[in-house]
Amino acid sequence: MPLRIGVIGVGYLGRHHARIYSELEGVSLAAVADADQSRGKEIAEQYGCKYFPSYPELLPLCDAVSIVTPTTTHHAVAIECLAAGKDVLVEKPITVTIEEADDLIEEAKKRARILQVGHLERYNPGLLAAAGMIQKPHFVESERISPFLGRGTDVDVTLDLMIHDIDIVLSIIQSEPVEIRAIGERVLTDKVDVAKAWIEFENGCKALITASRLAQEKLRRLRVFQRDSFVSVDYQNHEVRRYYKEGSGIACDVANPEKKEPLKEELKDFVQCVRTRSRPKVSGVEARDALRIALRITEMVDVR
């Protein structure tokens, strides 16, 4: 039996969820729901499924759902889907408050439902290829900057962009943050548009994370420094370089892993977790950990 999946919210990103589910083996894209009728109907027609203007109507047709509505609506939509017994993939950030995230984690646990959060950069082939090159990180630097596109401005850049890097840094360093310093500014919106955070971890590792939606160019890069080598990941080109000492010079190994669409890998993983009832790589718990730090950074930026 194919797994019946519905997509709630088919705007910029949700249409890609719908496209991928319509192509995945063993999955049937049952329906899409979107408050914008012309948008919803267009996507339903394109991918050959039912359309509903209101998401509760879609639930009886589905075993699982992707929630790709604006971040401020994640909690209200996800709690209703979980309460209806559906497995849920909710886009990042999980919610806008820790209380809301706790509520979703609790509901998923109570109903024995899968709760996965869309931290798609975890499925970037470059990052996955780098994993075997990272042994004992001492310092991690991450940058995610892009020109202003007007998207994601219902939340601060810390929740929209930096959350990806906070989650990745936590997964690499595997230690508790003990000190955080941050700076940032509201420039084009009434939310934080640019932020830089310095995080010190219990195990002595440090991280410097930059996020901006005000840049001239687009750059998404991670660098991990450790004794005798450093590893650089280019998220856009899915490329990894490892630099290390060789004699009196510097050598560099370049890895170009097979190009794969991170979102497709993430959705395949969700389907697998639903079928095997396994814990997702980024469940509500990991997503809440990243959210907690993103909110602390936002608060620090706001205190002046």
Interacting residue ranges for ligand NAD, rule: CB under 6 A: 8-14, 33-36, 39, 55, 68-71, 73, 77, 91-92, 118, 120, 151-152, 160
> Closest CB to ligand NAD among 19 and 242?
19
Q: How far is the CB of 82 from ligand NAD (least distance, A)?
A: 16
Q: How far is the CB of 51 from ligand NAD (least distance, A)?
A: 11
Q: How far is the CB of 230 from ligand NAD (least distance, A)?
A: 26
Q: How far is the CB of 181 from ligand NAD (least distance, A)?
A: 25
> Closest CB to ligand NAD among 155 and 205?
155
Q: How far is the CB of 154 from ligand NAD (least distance, A)?
A: 8
> Closest CB to ligand NAD among 105 and 133?
105
Q: How far is the CB of 175 from ligand NAD (least distance, A)?
A: 25
> Closest CB to ligand NAD among 63 and 266?
266
Q: Which residues neighbour 21 within 8 Å (Cβ) at sequence distance 6 or greater? A: 5, 7, 27, 29, 47, 66, 267
Q: What are the tokens at 154?
A: 């219902």
Q: How far is CA 205 from CA 131, 175, 223, in A?
A: 17, 8, 13
> Closest CB to ligand NAD among 14 and 125?
14
* Bridge-based pairing state of the strands 219-226 and 139-145: antiparallel
Judge contact between 47 and 92, C-beta under 8 A: no
Judge contact between 262 and 121, C-beta under 8 A: yes
Judge contact between 249 and 6, C-beta under 8 A: no
CA 224 to the chain's CA centroid: 20
Q: How far is the CB of 243 from ligand NAD (least distance, A)?
A: 28
> Closest CB to ligand NAD among 34 and 87?
34
Judge contact between 101 and 291, C-beta under 8 A: yes
Q: Which residues neighbour 9 within 8 Å (Cβ) at sequence distance 6 or greater? A: 33, 34, 67, 68, 69, 70, 73, 77
> Closest CB to ligand NAD among 78 and 271?
78
Q: How far is the CB of 54 from ligand NAD (least distance, A)?
A: 7
> Closest CB to ligand NAD among 13 and 215?
13
Residue type, 288: R
What is the C-alpha to C-alpha distance for residues 201 and 242, in angstroms, rounded to an integer?
A: 24
| HSE toward the beta carbon, residue 8, CA cutoff 13 A | 28
Residue facing ligand NAD at closest CB distance: 11
Judge contact between 70 and 45, C-beta under 8 A: no
Question: What residue has token string 């003990």?
Answer: 178
